[in-house]
Amino acid sequence: MKVLVVGGGGREHTLVWKLKQSPRVAKIYCAPGNAGIAGEAQCVNIGAEDIDSLLKFALDEKIELTVVGPEAPLTLGIVDRFREAGLRIFGPSRKAAEIEGSKVLAKEIMSKYNIPTGRYADFTNPDAAISYIKENGAPIVVKADGLAAGKGVIVAMDEKTAIDAVKMIMKDRVFGESGNRIIVEEYLEGEEVSILAFTDGTAVIPMVPSQDHKRIFDNDEGPNTGGMGAYSPTPVYTREIEEFALEKILIPTVRGMKEEGRTYEGVLYAGLILTKDGPKVLEYNARFGDPETQAVLIRLESDLAEIIEGIVDKRLEGMEIKWRDEAAVCVVMASGGYPGSYDKGKVISGIREAEAAGATVFHAGTAQKDGKIVNSGGRVLGVTALGQTIPEAINNVYKAVQKITWDGVQYRTDIGKKALKHLK
């Protein structure tokens, strides 16, 4: 069949790479794609949010399955539009994707269906939010209600930082309309784990767990980013926690969404924090995470196209999904200056050498220029490697990372290290 993947980042390169392995898939298009995806699929110069053009392309090319990577087109209703046109598409409807598009809605769902999460209040008035912060003190967490490319959450260890965050989001409008409303939430302590699950609106099958590294610098220092690396599995995520997450978080969320008239199909991502009182939900995403997808899908043994078709056709129940036993580590190599401003067009060298060393290099912010690969985004590459153990995967991935360079490159040197204390 002919498949269209929507998006142009590291997650989408991973999806293309995995779908290409399926005997069910004859041809893959990717819109807009990137320099790495261009080696595995036909890139189409249409933006991920240009739904009219994507729909026209899918109809003209008789695309048999569309797979949506990023959150923005989902919250804009791409799934509804494609289905209305009689096309098969993988992802949640606009109403279902609001579980990511509105942090307030997500909290309301959790509250109504007794899904464990932190205490919170939501505000449309910045002065009321600031008063609440002064009453409750710090540490405290401030979140923009809408989408903010993974950067709309400020963990404030003191009151001034929290108040500045409110002003930045609601008065300076750094995230635009996403800051019309905010959540101020209790600060929860514990290790974070990302749980992605396949669901067709009824059946729920979790994937292997992973752990994202949000902050730009080693030891979780510096500002939040879209994610600087991930590893899988996560030793802190025990069998007991896994059962709790399925029974008390994932299944109730999917059931609750259906009851709310927001039947959820696709990938549901639950960002959990493992507190002393048990796992609690920090956030939901309405799609594959990035860079978690790189560390998770490289471990998937089963045919991804088959799973996706099972979800689209509502026959996920009872499907057996197999995973490799090896550990995986993904290190994001980013442009100097990210998550702030950065220079583009720097020539990247060493990708082939890294791949020859056994790594899989997923492209994110890359482009072709004069026959060379250059950086075109903040997060540029997701270098991913397997190993029999997490320490071996860490060793393998950093050997490969050291072979890649460009002017201003930055990356964390501690991806996966949090797992080591649980392995002793």
Residue 404 is assigned to a structural domain of this protein: yes
Question: What is the β-pairing status of strands 229-232 and 211-212?
Answer: antiparallel
Residue 104 is assigned to a structural domain of this protein: no
Residue 103 is assigned to a structural domain of this protein: no
Q: Tell which of 75, 91, 107 closes a domain.
A: 91
CATH assignment at residue 385: 3.90.600.10
Q: What angle do CA 100, 183, 205 make, to 5 degrees?
A: 30
Overall average pLDDT of the 47-61 stretch: 98
Give the model confidence (pLDDT) of 241-289 as tens digits. Answer: 999 999 999 999 999 999 999 999 999 999 999 999 999 999 999 999 9
Overall average pLDDT of the 185-196 stretch: 96
Q: Are residues 169 and 250 in the same domain?
A: no
Q: Are residues 331 and 270 in the same domain?
A: no
Distance CA 108, CA 68 (A): 26
- Residue 62 — pLDDT band, cuts 50, 70, 90? very high
Q: What pLDDT sits at residue 147?
A: 86
Q: Are residues 212 and 271 in the same domain?
A: yes
Overall average pLDDT of the 201-215 stretch: 97
Overall average pLDDT of the 68-97 stretch: 98
Q: Are residues 165 and 218 in the same domain?
A: no
Give the model confidence (pLDDT) of 290-309 as tens digits. Answer: 999 999 999 999 999 999 99
Give the mean pLDDT of the chain.
96
Q: Is 151 exposed, middle or buried (0-12, 13-18, 19+ CB in 10 A)?
A: middle
Q: Are residues 17 and 42 in the same domain?
A: yes
Q: Which long-range contacts (CB under 8 A, 24 or more apart) does 121-129 make?
A: 121/183, 121/184, 122/181, 122/182, 122/183, 122/184, 123/181, 123/182, 123/183, 123/184, 124/180, 124/181, 126/166, 126/167, 126/170, 126/171, 129/166, 129/170, 129/182, 129/184
Closest CA to 267 of 70, 113, 25: 70
Q: Which long-range contacts (CB under 8 A, 24 or more apart) does 306-312 make?
A: 306/22, 306/24, 307/198, 308/65, 308/67, 308/90, 309/24, 309/65, 310/200, 311/90, 311/198, 311/199, 311/200, 311/265, 311/266, 312/65, 312/88, 312/89, 312/90, 312/200, 312/265
Q: Are residues 173 and 259 in the same domain?
A: no
Overall average pLDDT of the 177-194 stretch: 95
Closest CA to 290 of 190, 199, 201, 384: 384
Whether the per-residue pLDDT at 30 is higher than 90: the answer is yes
Overall average pLDDT of the 343-369 stretch: 97
Whether the per-residue pLDDT at 324 is higher than 80: the answer is yes
Overall average pLDDT of the 57-61 stretch: 98
Measure Cα distances from 122 to 102, 106, 159, 210, 253 in Å: 11, 12, 17, 29, 21
Q: Which has the higher per-residue pLDDT, 150 or 163?
A: 163
Whether the per-residue pLDDT at 151 is higher than 80: the answer is no
Q: pLDDT > 90: what percent of the chain?
A: 96
Q: Tell which of 155, 180, 205 closes a domain.
A: 180
Strand order across the 278-285 sheet: 204-206, 191-199, 266-275, 278-285
Question: What is the β-pairing status of strands 379-387 and 327-334?
Answer: antiparallel
Q: What pLDDT sits at residue 188?
A: 96
Q: What pLDDT sits at residue 223?
A: 87
DSSP secondary structure string for all residues of 153-209: EEEESSHHHHHHHHIIIIIS-TTGGGGSSEEEEE---SEEEEEEEEESSS-EEE---
Q: Are residues 144 and 231 in the same domain?
A: no
Q: What angle do CA 209, 194, 333 make, to 5 degrees?
A: 100
Closest CA to 409 of 358, 356, 350, 330: 350
* Other CB atoms within 10 Å distance of the CB of residue 155: 20
Q: Are residues 48 and 150 in the same domain?
A: no
Q: Are residues 289 and 343 in the same domain?
A: no
Overall average pLDDT of the 390-417 stretch: 98
- Residue 417 — pLDDT band, cuts 50, 70, 90? very high
Residue 105 is assigned to a structural domain of this protein: no
Residue 82 is assigned to a structural domain of this protein: yes
Whether the per-residue pLDDT at 148 is higher than 90: the answer is no
Residue 108 is assigned to a structural domain of this protein: no
User: 110: which 2 tokens?
Assistant: 């959790």
Residue 317 is assigned to a structural domain of this protein: no
Residue 117 is assigned to a structural domain of this protein: no
Closest CA to 89 of 65, 72, 108: 65
CATH assignment at residue 197: 3.30.470.20
Q: Tell which of 281, 312, 343 closes a domain.
A: 312
Q: Are residues 348 and 300 in the same domain?
A: no
- Residue 224 — pLDDT band, cuts 50, 70, 90? confident
Distance CA 41, CA 20 (A): 8
Q: What pLDDT sits at residue 149?
A: 73
Q: What pLDDT sits at residue 16?
A: 98
Q: Are residues 176 and 195 in the same domain?
A: no
Number of domains in the chain: 4
Q: Are residues 365 and 291 in the same domain?
A: no
Q: In which domain, by residue range, is 383 found?
A: 327-423
Overall average pLDDT of the 149-163 stretch: 89
Overall average pLDDT of the 95-112 stretch: 96
- Residue 53 — pLDDT band, cuts 50, 70, 90? very high
CATH assignment at residue 72: 3.40.50.20
Q: What pLDDT sits at residue 23?
A: 98
